[in-house]
Structure 1
Amino acid sequence: MPTRAGSWPLVGREAELERIAGARRLDGCPGVIVHAPAGVGKSRLAREANAAAAAEGLPAIWVQATRSASTIPLGAFADVVPDDVRSDDPLELLRRSGDALRERARDRRVVLGVDDAQLLDPVSAALVLHLASTSTAFVVATVRSGASVPDAIRSLWKDAGAHRLELARLSDEAVGALVEAGLGGPVEQRALAWVIGACQGNALFARELVLGALEAGTLVRAGGLWTLKGRPPVSATLRELISERMFTLSAQERAPIELLALAEPLRVDELTALASVEASVQAEALGLISIDVPGDEVRLAHPLYGEALRGELPALRAQRLRLRLADVLQERRPLTPETAMRVARLLLDAQQSVPPRLLLDAARAALLAGDPDLGARLAELALRDGGGLAAALPLARAHTVRNRHREAEEVLAAVEAQAEAAVSGDYVEQRVVGLYWGLREVDAARAFIERAGRWADGRVWTHRLLPLRDLLSAQRSDFGTTVRVTAEVLSGGQADDETRRGNEARHALALLFTGEGGRAYELAHALRPTVPLRGYHETLALGGWTLIALETGENFDDGDAYLSRVLRDAVRADDHETAGLAAFGLAATEFTRGRYRSAARWFDEAALQLERRDTFGTMTVVSAFRVGIAAATGDAVAALDALARMRDTFGPAGPWRHQVPYVQRAEGWAAGPGAAEHFLGAAAQCEALPIFAAQLLYEALRAGAEVAEPMAALAARGDARLVRAYARHAAARDAAQLLAVADEFAAIGALRYGMEAAFAAAAAAMRAGDRECAHRAAARARELFQPDQGAAPPVFEGLDPNAATLTKREAQLVELAREGLSNAEIADRLIVSVRTVESHLYRAMNKLGVRDRRAL
């Protein structure tokens, strides 16, 4: 666990370090001046640049400027320049100091790091300029943005030719990498989102946030992830850093900052009416608030200002400010649901009642904002106020989101008569979904749908209930029925938009299970929702698309890009199920790539999120994949443990029908010597689901069974890119065909299967006595193998284990040659000689058993 005194790694600054090193190697360049706001990491960057120069054998000196030393001539250089060089003559002092440094460096060019150069005394600043101008030193100096800088330091980049480097705040990705590196392990996305959002790219703030959460016990290691347990308080150290900026503010000047701390954003006229124009102007001038003029919004310049101020506000003053804010926000026209929610939160925090007219809109907005506790509180108030069915629906949804399915059912059952009078299709669907998925009370759901069927006559109502009836008969019917039912409803043209989208999502899933993977992918891709997801239909669309993209193998990279965005946005919105489904999709594709440790990390994330809500029982499939990870990495004990946990997720009721192929595959992975037989039997049981039967049959092939004939039959019925690759592997009879299969799997992204196909090709080539082909296939297998992911690398009997292993440079050149680049073009791109390219390619081709460059 990191300590406060510990040093965190430098991340996200590779380009800047390279730029400083490049400038150091330029003739005539006197240095680099790094400009950045406080906390961004300029000091750390300069220290790393200094250390890199020292590692190259150059004399490196570090000077730290401070306010206290700035009153003493050469105060910053007290530990660098000997006392005997002192002189009352400034020019003589500079000359002697320079001579002393040159002697210390033995006439080599010094790399001089100067931190906080804006604090240098005039003599020290002049010495830095003198050393740089006489080529005695290459200067790497840091300067705080906006600070007054000594003329001599400014002259370094204005006149002497030093490079000016504006250091930007860390990217979100770099902050995430910094936090995980500092903690020494993967961190859940919610915790990363909190740090990223709160620190705003400030490396110092990121570190202090994490250390403060560790000290408070709100950031803990749970399983394979660092997780947040509650909202961490702002640490005393961080509060001190923030308070420095507000220490001199008067009460009037603090007013706009306090208001925004309680309710940002505000409109400009709202803020100036509540505070004053003068105070708002002053806060903006000091960089404490940020005004978006086109958007007419005012926010705090940094979110941590609000965190710190809220903790310091006296209770009575905070209450008075909240009431004033609530009054102002209620004057907005139109009064949106989001504004109604903000008003309600302010009033509740001020221990005041919420106007009844705001309750329902505020409750619905709270649910969309990922705050089911607030949504439930407001919906309960609305229900007590006579809100009836309209209040019961969001209240039941709030219960469902928090896995309180019995409470949701009780709320809905109490208003059944009102729903019948209103002929509410939304009510019917919400109640059926809760009974079926949440409580698994299928008989109760069937009895209810029969009652609901009598609420109205006509084709529109029949079509509204038809997919729900099909869902409830799912244990006895096949997916072909679902295809027909959803197609009938969609062809009617009378469904509302939400009902239509829900039926399209069901239709896409049914197409996948009946073997029409191409059509399923196209439809599901068009239905991909954005966060925030609006109810069951969009959750179904997301889950369906994730499953379809995984099992068809149409475009893993596109899927990963989409799911990464969904995961990020869902975590920010506190939508746990959406985040869990996105993390599951990322994990499953990483598993298919053979990146088992990466997959385990994302499965941990998925499980963490799905524990909060899991409509479709995705946790069963997560546990099934964990069995696969344990089997692939040779951990039999972990495989049995994951298998037991998988069985616990569905209990005596057994898995849902859409889970069966995954459960069967996991059972086979843990079956040991009987795996092939198990997979063959499971494939026969899933014969009506050709894409999934092919997957199980392929596992039988991997376990040593001959499956060419049944696989060809399944491929004729299962339209999916992965199924076609399975069939080609099953039919391959020589090394060349197996190598082609390996390339096909690699193009899909199924690298684990591609590696195995290439391994099989090497074995086939050895049996045929073709050592050249065997070397080429072995090299391809090693290329597709994912190192440091927990699995053992492939071992080729009869071949030198190093003969087919390309060096990093050889692999890079081979890849460029495969792209069609000539030796000269490769040399230009990599800034090496053509002769170097030729020699490396020659060795690589020998290792690969290739005589012709075109065979690469």
Structure 2
Amino acid sequence: MTERLLAGESVMIAGPFGSGKSHVITAVAAELRQLGHDPVVVRGSATLRSAPYGALDVADDTRLEALRPGEAARHETPTVIVVDDAHQLDDFSLQLLTRSILHGRSVALFAVGTEPGAADSPGASGASGAPAALNDLWLEGRLHRTDLALLDPDTSEELLSEYVGSGLLDSVTRRALHVRAHGSRRLLRELAFDAATETVAGRDPLALGRELAPGSRAADVLAATVADLDDDQHRALAVIGRLRGMASATACRFIDPAIIDSLVQRGAVHVDDRPERGLYADPYLAAASTARLAPGRLDVALDVIATRALATPEQPRGAALDRLIATFWHSGRSTVPSPETVDAETRRRILAGAAHSANSGGRSDLALAYTAMARKYGDHASLRLESSRARAGLQDFAAAFAELAGIDAAGVCTGDLRRVVRWWSSLTTWLPVEGRGASLTGWLEASGIDDPSILCEIEVQRAEAACLAMDWSTAVAVADAVLEVEGAHTLARVRSAIMSAFADVQRGRFDEGLAKLAAADRANRDPVTGRPVSLMVELALLSFEGGAAFAAGRPMPAHPQRLRVVTLLAAHRDDRSSLALAGVAAAVVLGIAQSEPDVTDVELEAALRRLDRIELAVWRPLLAYLRVTALARNGRTDDARAALDEVDDQLLSHHLIYRYSRDTTEAEISQRPVRGEPVETTISPDTYFPRHRGTVRRIGADRRAQPESQTEASGPPRATGTATAADRAGGQSAPGSASDAAGGGPARGIDAVLTERELEVALLVARQLSNKEIAHQLYLSVRTVESHVYTARGKLGARTRRELGRIVAGSE
């Protein structure tokens, strides 16, 4: 660009906010000064746009005066002008600058801000929203145009690695930072430094409600990001930020749809792909817009929304509005109708819905306050359910069970009853106290409940409990029976399929397990769009599928891309449980399956920090042991022992699999070399999914007394020795697998199977370079290298990095 300007050619840089326009022109101006040319610097401004020549006058440079009509040229060489935010210039300034370019009295570098998608918007000024005068110069060939794009996820990954390194932030945080940066490199950098600071301090950088420090560089960049929004856009962004997930149709009742569309085009608001099309505003941007509103203006807007929603109870509200109204009632706000003035059913639904949201967000205290308020006017099963969840979150488990036992099952609708039974079962699994499972069954029998779709929820819990007891045959039998129940809820079917598949994999029946997981995946897909119906289910399936495929020695090349899609979706929704499960899936797909213990450690450490729902807590100890194993495999034995000590020993008595996992983990640590000694980098499925009975001590007297006929049905399956994936599949190699590519099958060379980049990466793997070393050598991000390694292994049928290197080396 500098060369073009010095050659007498003007340039326009066009791009959305955050695409790097200002950074580019600042660099060009600095380079011009180094070459002995002092450019005139002009900055457009919305506040000066109404004043003729406003921005030029503020620049206060006599060289600009010489360009005005009637002034004689003072220099033989054209004046070099650099203009930032040229789209904010007034018409007089634009005409003066374009005229001087046409007369050869100046050359200029313009930075023009455009709206994403502005080229397709009615009334856009010129191509992609550029000012008409500059667009005419471009079309006449008097001005060179360069368009800058917003950051894509891959570029964000590479920049994050440059800013804070590749091993500090987990992939979920990195995706969330990409979403929150809105395409801005500058904002991404500041958010990355902030996230790194939080992570080093042992805090979650994505913690709900966390605010950036006032006056911090990240806060200043965010303020600049929303500086050009008008007052109505600020108010709309602040409202949507407060009512996260509000359905688009509901939002349009209170906010001008054109304003919502403008915020969506800018990327400030994300529209979910669910049928209700929920709206999600970035919490940082929403806070920045709130700060620019007049004091109390947001409160007035929210008061109006809450009052109108209560005045039209027949209109759908959704969880976001329920949370808002319940918050106002809880705080005793007098500017909205009180709960006493609202009909009983509407009041109950609002407070029960708000309590559910509070429980899901880890605010057990708030959930309990909502249910207590509602129960002053009458009791209901949904209120007792949320009260039970809240009391469990507060560690008052006796009260949690008492709340459930006080529900009259006979008077509960099917939907609420299913949720009650599902929660009761989860609570029983987490705290397997003698008699509590039987009390649930007796509670249903006493009320005459014999609906198979309800009773099968208990069977799902039995299957899960059997897995935790390592009673694999019982787990399969019970779970498969649920799959045959007509009318069973989709979630019950999916959970049963996962438990059955988990048990099959532990018994070495990989084909059956993977087939069940594939069927569960299809059940969670919308038949029209093909998208996942439930994000949480999709993430759970991805975790179990990745683990099963790794244990079977079958790389799944589609998993990384599938993970990227759902992780971005979780980042947009900013739901803590979804972010936790996304971290678990990333640990399996990017860490364990790719033999990267350092990645496994980072992903699981972040996931465990976010995993606080009791419905998921039953798997928490197993994930903790997986992380300890990753630390040991990475040569960090001291850290592994410290992490092992953090796992609550009292949990070991709850389920046999906890004790077994701890024993295998301790055995893994004891086999590791001391810090500083070399560590074997090849990781087999047995590292994370141990199936050799001889590696640990026998567990429990009941286990020692178990008949030999049950050794396959319960506990780790028979040792598999050194059998390969092809051996387990019956000795058959899939077409295009490692044996084919290496010369044992069809005459296809490695270069015919892999892309040029995949082959380049695989050859460096064969030279025993780590992913980080490969990334440095090829100028790629570590994540990109990980993706190439994983894809190459899938194409060649390689179970591990070492096998991939051996196949590629043997073909040279």
Report the alpha carbon displacement of residue 682 of structure 1 after superposing the two structures with TM.
Answer: 2.7
Could you say which residue in structure 1 is the equivalent of 2:677? none
Amino acid at match of 1:167: L
After TM superposition, list the pairs within 5 Å mapping 1:100-249 onto structure 2. 115-116=84-85, 140-145=109-114, 156-171=137-152, 181-182=162-163, 186-187=168-169, 200-203=182-185, 219=198, 221-223=200-202, 226=205, 228=207, 230-232=209-211, 235=214, 237=220, 241=224, 245=228
> Per-residue deviation at 1:328?
1.6
Could you say which residue in structure 2 is the equivalent of 1:36?
15
Is structure 2 residue 400 aligned with structure 1 residue 411?
yes
SS of residue paired to 1:164 = strand
The aligned counterpart of 1:65 is 42
Q: CA deviation at 1:635?
A: 3.4
Q: Secondary structure at the match of 2:200?
A: strand
The partner residue of 1:307 within 287, 291, 315 is 287
SS in 2 for 1:163: strand
Out of 357, 378, 382, the position equivalent to 2:374 is 382
The SS at the match of 1:657 is helix
Q: Which residue of 1 aligns with 2:565?
A: 565
| Higher RCO (CA-CA < 8 Å; seq separation 6+) | 2
Aligned residue for 2:558, secondary structure, equals helix
- State the SS of the aligned residue for 1:418: coil
Aligned to 1:788: 772
Matching residue's letter, 2:429: Y
Matched residue SS, 2:516: helix
Residues 229 and 477 of structure 1: CA distance in aligned 2, closer, same or farther (over 3 Å): closer
User: Normalising by structure 1, what TM-score?
Assistant: 0.62
Once the two structures are TM-superposed, the CA of residue 434 in structure 1 deviates from its matched residue by 0.7
- Relative distance call for 1:155 and 1:541 in structure 2 (3 A) is closer
Asked if 1:361 is matched to 2:352, the reply is: no
> Helix, strand or coil for the counterpart of 1:93?
coil
Aligned pair partner of 1:522 in 515, 526, 530: 515
**Deviation string, structure 1 residues 746-784 (Cα, Å, up to 9, x no partner):** 99xxx9xxx9xxxxxxxxxxxxxxxxxxxx999575356
Tell me, yes or no, if the aligned pair for 2:577 and 2:613 is still in contact at 8 Å. yes
1:671 Cα shift? 1.7
In the alignment, residue 64 of structure 1 is paired with which amino acid? Answer: V
Task: Report 1:245-394 matches (<5 A).
Answer: 245=228, 306-308=286-288, 310-311=290-291, 320-330=300-310, 331=312, 333-338=314-319, 339-345=321-327, 347-348=329-330, 351=333, 353-354=338-339, 355=342, 356-363=344-351, 365-366=353-354, 367=356, 370-371=360-361, 373=363, 375-394=367-386
Segment drifting more, 425-434 vs 682-691: 682-691
SS in 1 for 2:499: helix
Which letter maps to 1:393? L
CA distance in 2, matches of 1:59, 1:476: 78
Give the Å deviation of 1:479.
0.7
Secondary structure class of the residue paired with 1:34: strand
Whole-angstrom CA distance in 1 between matches of 2:713 and 2:730? 12
Match of 1:701 in 2: none
CA contact (8 A) 2:235 2:298 kept: no
Match of 2:694 among 670, 681, 692: 681
- C-alpha displacement at 1:340, in angstroms? 3.9
> Which amino acid counterpart does residue 374 of structure 2 have in structure 1?
A
Deviation at 1:413, TM superposition (A): 1.8
Deviates more, 1:593-602 or 1:139-148: 139-148
CA 387–47 in structure 1, closer or farther in 2 if over 3 Å, else same: same
Q: Work out whether residues 219 and 226 of structure 1, in 8 Å CA contact, stay in contact via their aligned partners in 2.
A: yes
**Could you tell me which amino acid in structure 2 is paired with residue 435 of structure 1?**
T
| Secondary structure in 2 matching 1:615 | helix
Question: Hey, what's the Cα distance between the residues in 2 that align with 1:458 and 1:30?
Answer: 82
Contact 2:583 2:604 in 1 (8 A): yes
Matches within 5 A, 1:436-835: 436-437=429-430, 440-449=431-440, 451-452=442-443, 454-455=445-446, 456=448, 460=452, 465-469=458-462, 471-472=464-465, 478-493=471-486, 495-528=488-521, 529=524, 544-591=544-591, 592-611=593-612, 615-645=616-646, 648=648, 651-653=651-653, 656-657=656-657, 660=660, 664=664, 667-672=667-672, 681-682=694-695, 688=712, 707-708=721-722, 711=723, 781-782=765-766, 785-788=769-772
Shift of 1:480: 0.9
Give the deviation of 1:391 after TM superposition: 1.4
Q: Percent identity?
A: 16
Q: What is the CA distance between 1:42 and its match in structure 2?
A: 0.6
CA distance in 1, matches of 2:576, 2:41: 47
- Residue 382 of structure 1 deviates from its aligned partner by 2.8
SS at 2:657 equivalent: coil
Aligned amino acid, residue 682 of structure 1: T
Whichever residue aligns with residue 159 of structure 1, its letter is E
CA contact (8 A) 1:467 1:485 kept: yes
Contact 1:639–1:670 (Cα < 8 Å) also in 2: no
Count, aligned residues: 692
1:70 positional shift: 1.9
Q: Among 355, 370, 389, which residue is 1:397 paired with?
A: 389
* Aligned residue type for 1:394: E
Q: Are residues 623 and 142 of structure 1, via their aligned partners in 2, closer, same or farther at CA, if it must alter by over 3 Å? A: same
Tell me which residue corresponds to 2:74: 93
The gaps in structure 1 that reach 5 residues or longer are 1-19, 102-111, 698-706, 756-775, 794-804, 820-847
AA aligned opposite 1:443: E
Q: Give distance in 2, aligned partners of 1:63 and 1:242.
A: 25
Amino acid paired to 2:57: T
Contact 1:368–1:534 (Cα < 8 Å) also in 2: no
1:393 is displaced (CA, Å) by 1.5
Residue 97 of structure 1 deviates from its aligned partner by 4.8
Tell me the alpha carbon deviations over residues 317-357 of structure 1, each in whole angstroms, 9 at most, x when there is no partner.
65554332222223264424435444434555662544442
RMSD: 6.2
CA distance in 1, matches of 2:239, 2:442: 53
Q: Structure 1 residue 232: deviation in Å? A: 0.8
Give the Cα–Cα distance (whole angstroms) in 2 for the partners of residues 617 and 289 of structure 1.
Answer: 37
Equivalents in 2 of 1:51, 1:194: separation in Å?
33
Residue 506 to residue 115, structure 1, CA distance change in 2 (3 Å): same
| Structure 1 residues 249-296: Cα deviation after superposition (integer angstroms, max 9, x where no partner) | 7xx99987887776689999999998999x989x99x9999999xx99
Contact 1:577 1:614 in 2 (8 A): no
Aligned partner letter, 1:392: R
User: Conserved in 2, the CA contact under 8 Å of 1:193 and 1:572?
Assistant: no
- Any conservation in 1 of the 2:468–2:655 contact (CA below 8 Å)? no
User: Measured at CA, do residues 156 and 298 of structure 1 come closer, stay the same or move farther in structure 2, by a change above 3 Å?
Assistant: farther
Paired residues of 1:116 and 1:144 also in contact (CA < 8 A): yes
Determine the C-alpha separation between the residues in 2 that align with 1:806 and 1:290: 36
Q: 1:640 to 1:388 in 2, by over 3 A?
A: same
Deviations along 1:538-586, whole A, 9 cap, x unmatched?
8865654454344335453322333333333334445434432321221
Residue 372 of structure 2 aligns with an amino acid whose one-letter code is E
**In structure 2, distance between residues paired with 1:43 and 1:209:** 19
> How many Å apart are 1:195 and its aligned residue?
5.6
| 2:211–2:284 Cα contact (<8 Å) kept | no
Tell me if structure 2 keeps the 8 A contact 1:583–1:603. yes
Shift of 1:63: 4.7
**1:452 Cα deviation from its structure 2 partner:** 4.0
Once the two structures are TM-superposed, the CA of residue 164 in structure 1 deviates from its matched residue by 2.2
Q: In 2, Cα distance between the equivalents of 1:343 and 1:303?
A: 20
Task: Tell me, yes or no, if the aligned pair for 2:625 and 2:661 is still in contact at 8 Å.
Answer: no
Q: For 1:142, what is the secondary structure of its paired residue?
A: strand
Residue pair 1:24, 1:31 contacting (<8 A) in 2 also: yes
Contact 2:542–2:563 (Cα < 8 Å) also in 1: no
Q: Which has the larger radius of gyration?
A: 1
